[in-house]
Homo-oligomer: A and B are copies of this chain.
């Protein structure tokens, strides 16, 4: 069997994790990496992963990486927003590579950047390659799984899904963007200023669900509420006194004909257990029949994002050209030989 040659654009926690996963899969081969961190340039990817030599090097640009050897597909992990990563995606498509990106907005880019999405779709079709946005969320828990479960429903009246997770393992950037350790006033000011962002991906997941099942949403509303702690909580990066903010409860509502038909919730905080909160992925569908799914604990964010990005490689390689979503492709699956 000819192995698929995978190029990693971005070697942060997600990109490096994906490279490590690729190394463990029979049908995949590490082709190289593109990274902007000076200390990693020119190194063997295996040295960065701490797994010994792989023969695949880190380059400073896509052109340099492809000069070192050919690739079939890019795993792209450099940013969250379509506008921010668009130029890189175009460059990969122009080079004739399939692309899987974990940029959250790219899970359903038509909702945030319809013109960029249209251009990228046309370009991908012209170049005969496939572009997919995926990840644990958006990309899996609050959209792919929800859509799949509606398949067993004669009728869907409304959908509510929640991803309840624990931020304790994350670093200072996540603490800052979720408002962990702020006072109530600081939290409100951070939300107003756009520094406390909550979850990126609700409009994307919601529109993906709606389109898949044939709903047209009139409006999407979102709200970020502080999770005020009643108890002391701390991590290596932050201390939260009682009365301070332990995280951000971000909720989105999708309306059709003036009625909320989709509610997506993502309360993220450090040490939810200290507040009696059980983490998990929850999906409730009201209809015929009702569906009441829980995955406890939740799919870990990092592992889930790494897994979905790499697991989709064979499906993307086999797919029709264009800019696709998880709803366009066959069932996701762990794949590539005895894993």
Contact = CB atoms under 8 A, between A and B. Distances in A.
A295 B152 CA distance: 12
Chain A interface size band reads: 35 or more
Given A214-B339, A289-B300, A293-B294, A331 B152 contact: no
A285 to B, nearest CB: 9
Given A294-B294, A339-B155, A339-B156, A333 B289 contact: no
Contacts of A118: none
A338 B215 contact: yes
Contacts of A293: 293-295
Contacts of A339: 154-156, 213-214, 287
A145 B332 CA distance: 10
A335 interface: yes
Contacts of A256: 338
Contact of A334 (B155, B294, B299, B335): B155
B291 A152 contact: no
B303 A148 contact: no
A258 B178 CA distance: 48
Contact of A151 (B149, B300, B307, B328): B307
B307 A154 contact: yes
Nearest to A305: B152
Given A148-B144, A150-B334, A295 B296 contact: no
A326 interface: yes
Interface in A147-168: 147-156
A211 to B, nearest CB: 10
Contact of A212 (B155, B291, B331): B331
Interface of A: 21, 24, 26-27, 136, 140-141, 144-145, 147-156, 212-215, 256, 287-289, 291-297, 299-300, 303-304, 306-308, 310-312, 326-339
17 contacts: A136-B152, A140-B151, A141-B152, A148-B333, A150-B311, A150-B334, A151-B311, A151-B333, A153-B334, A154-B334, A154-B339, A155-B334, A213-B333, A214-B337, A287-B339, A294-B296, A327-B331
